Amino acid sequence: MNGSEALLKKLKENGTDVVFGYPGGVLLPLYDSIYDCDIKHILVRHEQAAAHAADGYARASGKTGVCIATSGPGATNLVTGIATAQMDSSPVIALTGQVGTPIIGTDAFQEVDTIGITMPITKTNFQPRDSSDVPKIIDAAYHIASTGRQGVVVVDLPKDVLENEVTDEDMDAKLEIQGYKPNTNGNPRQITKAIQTILNCKKPIILAGGGVILADASKELVEFATKANIPVATSLMGKGSIPEDHELSLGLLGMHGLESTNNAVTDCDCLIAIGCRFSDRTTGKVSEFASDAVKIQIDIDPAEIGKNVDIDIPIVGNAKIILEKFIGEIDGVNHGDWTKQIVSKRWAYKPKYNFGCVPFKPQECIKEIMEAITPETIVTTDVGQNQMWMAHYFKTKNPRTFISSGGLGTMGYALPAAIGAQVAKPDEHVLAVAGDGGFQMVSQELATIKEYDLPIVTCILNNRYLGMVYQWQVLYYNNRISQTELAPTPDFVQLAKSYGIDAVSVEEIGKLKENIMEAFDQGEARVIEVKIDSSELLPMVPPGEKITKIVGEYKQEE
């Protein structure tokens, strides 16, 4: 068995049956082995998409996603996708080709220092210098990517390492990692202290982040919130951790959060943050963020505790395990009128749509999307206004069904992430929501969708602008619209059709919904362009301001 075969065998052993990749010179041995192995290979059209697809696959399924790119430009094209996955703690293994060990360091053809480049944007990275090290390094890569705070592991594979012999003995070898021992159980004393605090406080709020979803702790979150009668706000990454039509759900917090939610968190006397890293987009001005609250933070990563916000009661551990302990100790807490009052404010708040406007208002699009899909439908979003409209108005019901680039804010994410999600969940409907800007960064992946017959529905909210940046220019740069107008945009219908994908541009109310449902019914990919009103701006909290200082308003239903 050679290095390539050993590698593929190890992928299989670790539960991987699909990889997303793009071949190249130094990967010839690997692709030769892929030729007759039973791991499915999805050929993307750009390596960035391979990384996003592996990431989308991981987020939709909870399994570790794997992507492959060749050395040099292949590896550098992966970088954006690697950083995206790492920022949102998505378990991904990126396999990169490298020139042969005898010529490493000589500026050989397509040589780049992948280890050096990816060091600051991965959980860790490896470069086996000997074929015999491949099996144990792959096992370690899976272990590290999928445990503790999940993340990205890069394995850089020199060509000769893929070619040389690996023995059966090598297959059983284990890599000693002395320094890596994630703590999952939480300190019992801190847990007791947290429970006492929760029982004694008057105005508690739970802030659920992506960590709840990563720990598959949504069921426990809802059970705890219900038992303790505490309203739940979410960060962008926490969307779906509690069904957003649940009576205790407060929806999104932060820069583009709901006003009622931002006010509630500001007023609370006890904030229970679970798997949330207090990004500046969530907290606004840190010194005025829930400043009267006792803060409890549960996180698997000790370095997140107290990093951005000072914490009174830290608990290092897995969200599911800690919540189970909470559930065992807390039952039927009375916080007076607080919960009722906070929850009623949220539920009195209903976004108002400007029905019947042409061009469409984005709110109307989201309303139609919600009406067209089921709670199981996986929705991926791009980055910018489209993402924030979705984050604000769209009600996610199940974990792992709202997939979005939070930390890095990567334009072009929606389409390739949808490819990964669809491959992970072939029986579910997948909808990608993108803006015209982000879509144009990755539109070549329509070819991948066609080739593998993936029934992904892509909705392009076309406002002919880089909407979010345009919005900041309007609000904070005196209307000086610098380089954010994307005219002319291509004819998206023609573009999609040239890839053999059904496409339509909708201008009539109800047609978006109708097209989504029809495409899902037929089980075929479709691109639906909606020209939306480019003058529609999102209300927001100015960067660095307190989260109650919202500029503009989300229109409410009369």
Partner 1 sequence: MTNKHTISILVENKTGVLQRIAGLFTRRDFNIDNISVGKTSVENMSRITITTYGDDKTLEQIIKQLNKLIEVIKVREMKPDQTIRRQLALVKIHAPTEEDKSEIIQYTNIFRGKIADVTPKTITVEITGNPDKINALIDLLRPYGIKEMTKTGTTAITRGQKTL
Please report how close the Cβ of residue 95 comes to partner 1 at its closest, in angstroms.
18
CB-based burial, 499-515: b 16+ in 10 Å, e otherwise: bebbbbbbeeeebbbeb
Residue 315 vs 527, nearer CB to partner 1: 315
CA distance 558 to 153: 51
Catalytic residue (choose from 9, 20, 47, 441): 47
Q: How far is the CB of 89 from partner 1 (least distance, A)?
A: 12
- Contact residues for partner 1, defined by CB under 8 A: 115-116, 119-120, 123-124, 144, 177-180, 301-303, 305-307
Shortest gap between Cβ of 492 and partner 1 (angstroms)? Answer: 39
Q: Which is nearer to partner 1, 183 or 548 (CB)?
A: 183
Q: How far is the CB of 116 from partner 1 (least distance, A)?
A: 7
Measured N-to-C along each axis, helices 385-393 and 467-476 cross at an angle, to the nearest 10 degrees, of: 90
Q: Which is nearer to partner 1, 294 or 305 (CB)?
A: 305
422's CB contacts (< 8 A; 6+ apart) are 378, 428, 430, 454, 455, 456
Instruction: Give phi and psi for 294, each to the nearest 5.
Output: -75, 130
Which token pair is 90?
């998505």
Closest distance to partner 1 from the beta carbon of 112 (Å) = 15
Q: Give the containing element (helix H, strand E) for 470.
A: helix 467-476
Contact 253, 233 (CB under 8 A): yes
Q: Which residue lies nearer to partner 1 by CB, 101 or 341?
A: 101
Q: Which one, of 327, 329, 268, 323, lies nearest residue 294 by Cα?
A: 268
The rounded distance, in Å, linking the Cα atoms of 145 and 168 is: 25
Which of 40, 109, 352, 522 is flagged as catalytic?
109
Coil vs helix vs strand at 278: coil
Answer yes or no: are the C-beta atoms of 136 and 173 closer than 8 Å. yes
To the query of whether residue 468 is one of the catalytic residues in this protein, the response is yes
Q: How far is the CB of 211 from partner 1 (least distance, A)?
A: 15
- The angle that helices 3-13 and 28-35 make with each other, rounded to 10 degrees, is 60
Say if CB 435 and CB 307 are below 8 A apart. Answer: no
Residue 47 designated active-site: yes
> Minimum CB separation from partner 1 for residue 123, in Å?
7
Query: Taking the complex as a whole, how short is the minimal distance between the CB of residue 88 and partner 1, in angstroms?
Result: 16
Q: Are 134 and 158 in contact (CB under 8 A)?
A: no
Nearer to partner 1, 119 or 348 (CB): 119
Q: Is 110 designated active site?
A: yes
3 state SS of 365: helix
> Which two tokens mark 286?
């840190």
From 159, 239, 425, 513, the catalytic residue: 159
Pairing of strands 249-252, 40-43: unpaired
Helix (H, G, I), strand (E, B) or coil at 430: strand
147 vs 341, which CB is nearer to partner 1? 147
Annotated catalytic residue 289: no
Residue 69 contacts residue 432 (beta carbons within 8 Å): no
Give the C-alpha separation, 200 to 43, whole Å: 56
> Considering the complex, what minimum distance in angstroms separates the CB of residue 129 from partner 1?
9
Beta strand segments in 62-131, E: 65-69, 92-98, 124-126
The residue ranges of DSSP E strands in 169-259, in sequence order, are 204-208, 232-234, 249-252
Question: Which strand ranges, in their side-by-side order, compose the sheet holding 232-234?
Answer: 249-252, 232-234, 204-208, 270-274, 294-299, 313-316
In the complex with partner 1, the residue whose CB is nearer, 120 or 426, is: 120
Q: Name the catalytic one among 394, 468, 513, 529.
A: 468
Which residues belong to the active site?
47, 109-110, 159, 468
